[in-house]
Structure 1
Amino acid sequence: MAGLQPDIYAAISITWVAAFLALGLRLKARRMTKMNLWFDDYFAVIALLFVSSYCSVTIYWTHSYKLGQSILTIEDTIEANRIQDRSRLLLWICELLYASSIAFCKLSILCFYWRVFQYTSIRYAIIILLIAVSIWITIRTFMVIFHCVPIRAYWDKSIQGAKCPFNEANFFFATILIHTTMDCVILILPVIEVMKMTLPLSQKLAVVGLFTSGTMYVELLFAICWSNAVQKHDVGSRRDKYGSFLRLSPYATTHFSSLSSRTLDDGRVSPGADQFTKRCSTGGKARGNEIKETGVSEVRHVSWAI
């Protein structure tokens, strides 16, 4: 095992296990507080299923088709072409799984926001974001499936007369940029509402910090965008193309399955947390389904090694 394969295995194994643990604790918290599962919980479970599928495909790709290694290390041209064709197919599958995991994570977070903020001024923004995420995943899935016409031409370059209008590097950059922008808006939404509340500054900062803990993920996404923007001019040659994607692989893998579980239950985070849940309820009274535990912050993963 050489190249970036150890980085890929480490990034996947650590974050994948963390994702399972976080979601397991989330469901256990639901059971302990005797709360019924809602859409945010179901979307989180679906997101983890897509994540698990993606991780499985990536591990298979790394083990069997040299993901994380330079194609130039393979001297047999026929074998190199076979690995390239198979790798492009696996990349196509990963793109679909990657986008789906992102979309269901966003839906999970927004549904969680709806439970907390449905009677506040940001409820319309939440609805707009739910619609925007649904439109985004629909368009992106369509573009991935029909990246080339016929579809098989994406991984089978022997097909004559195929049309592939999208540049891979530009498509990747545009995708990251769009969903990063949506993530920033999603992270800012609760801050606006929290700052309106009549709580001590320390309690406001504690609750704001709780909701904005995903900013570290967004910073990593910007780093990936910058790295891709700097390196995408390299895709012209065979040598630079594979080197560029190889360098992106471990960093992009790390930004994937970071499940963040936060708890707002009975003031365990801070005294302001309990007040926060009550003030977000109808008429300032705590509802039966007031927030006990938050949702998934992010589950996402992308790996471009070929």
Structure 2
Amino acid sequence: MKPRQSMPPLSEEELAEDQSPQLLVVFVIFTALPLIVVTLRIIARRVTHQAISYDDWLIIIAVFLCIAQFVFLIEALRYGLGRHIQVVPTTSIEPYLLYTFLSELYYAIDVTLVKMSILALYLRLFNIHPLFKMSCYALMVIVLAWGVSVTFTTIFQCSPISAAWDKTIPNLKCFNLANFIIGSNVPNILADALIIVLPLPLVWCLKVSPMRKFGLIALFLVAAM
């Protein structure tokens, strides 16, 4: 392996920092929560004798991918995630980068599936409004285009592809990852905002009391978070 690029010296205290325990807690919580919620959702479907719909299947696939991403992140923790790169053993850098790369790849696919599931749910709940349906389909196209572009950009972030985790490859080329993260997150956040506000006018027009309208709107907003 090529020698590492020179980095500013860190104090002994800084080199001893290890955030992997905190990261492990975050990974466990945000993997367990969707798993529990989706499991309860499917159980509720079965108890009420409702068929599993497209939105259910999309979120089920997303949960399985979330579990796969959790496995990759655990492996990345094992090889050095959460610690300063200067204290990570040389032999651990390549597997650490590989599992980080795989988790990034699954993240893009997972986020796309979750958004598509929400929009499919909207279509199932409000399928009698032509303009709303057209808006949902348009957002689905945007979300899918974002997912495909981010997934392929993640895969081909380096030339050759394996250079994303194998830094011993001569003449490797990688684009600026920080700029890519910013550029991909801006449309992602905008899509989230549109998905959140899309059903609110329809909910407000329901023939129910204002308190129930506010309750339903709050429910949509909380679910969107």
One fold, TM greater than 0.5?
yes
Residue 164 of structure 2 corresponds to residue 154 of structure 1: yes
Equivalent runs, 1:285-304 vs 2, <5 Å: none
Residue 113 of structure 2 is matched in structure 1 by 104
- In the alignment, residue 186 of structure 2 is paired with which amino acid? L
The whole-number CA distance in structure 1 between the counterparts of 2:97 and 2:28 is: 23
Q: Report matched runs for 1:266-305 at 5 Å.
A: none
Cα distance in 1 between the residues matched to 2:27 and 2:17? 17
User: Match for residue 64 of structure 2?
Assistant: 49
Match of 1:182 among 166, 191, 200: 191
Match for residue 9 of structure 1 among 18, 21, 24? 24
1:66 aligns with 2:80: yes
Q: Quote the Cα distance in structure 2 between the aligned partners of 1:139 and 1:17.
A: 28
1:201 maps to which residue? 210
Say whether the 8 Å CA contact 2:72–2:100 is kept in structure 1: no
Instruction: Report SS of the residue matched to 1:213.
Output: helix
The aligned counterpart of 2:37 is: 22
State the partner residue of 1:258.
Answer: none
RMSD over aligned CA atoms reads: 1.6
The gaps in structure 1 that reach 5 residues or longer are 218-306
Counterpart secondary structure, 1:34:
coil
Aligned counterpart, 1:122: 132
The whole-number CA distance in structure 2 between the counterparts of 1:28 and 1:11 is 26
Which 4+ stretches in 1 moved above 4 angstroms? none
What is the TM-score when the length of structure 1 is the normalising length? 0.65
AA aligned to 2:121 is: F
Percent of residue pairs identical: 28
Cα-to-partner distance string for 1:58-116 (whole Å, 9 max, x where unaligned): 112112x1210112235xxxx33x32222221121111111111111011111100001
**SS state of the match for residue 212, structure 1?**
helix
Letter in 1 for 2:72: V
CA positional deviation for 1:55 = 0.4
Which residue of structure 1 aligns with residue 181 of structure 2?
172
Gaps of 5+ in 2: 1-15
The structure whose residues are more often helix, as a share, is 2
Normalised by the length of structure 2, the TM-score is 0.87
Residue 80 of structure 2 aligns with an amino acid whose one-letter code is K
Quote how far apart the aligned CAs of 1:2 are. Answer: 5.6
Matched pairs, number: 209
Listed one character per residue, the Cα deviations across residues 15-57 of structure 1 (whole Å, up to 9, x for unaligned) are: 2222221111100110011011011010011000110000011
1:100-148 Cα deviation digits (max 9, x unpaired): 1111101111110000111113111100011111111111111111111
Letter in 2 for 1:67: L
What is the deviation of 1:4?
Answer: 0.8
Deviation, structure 1 residue 214: 4.1
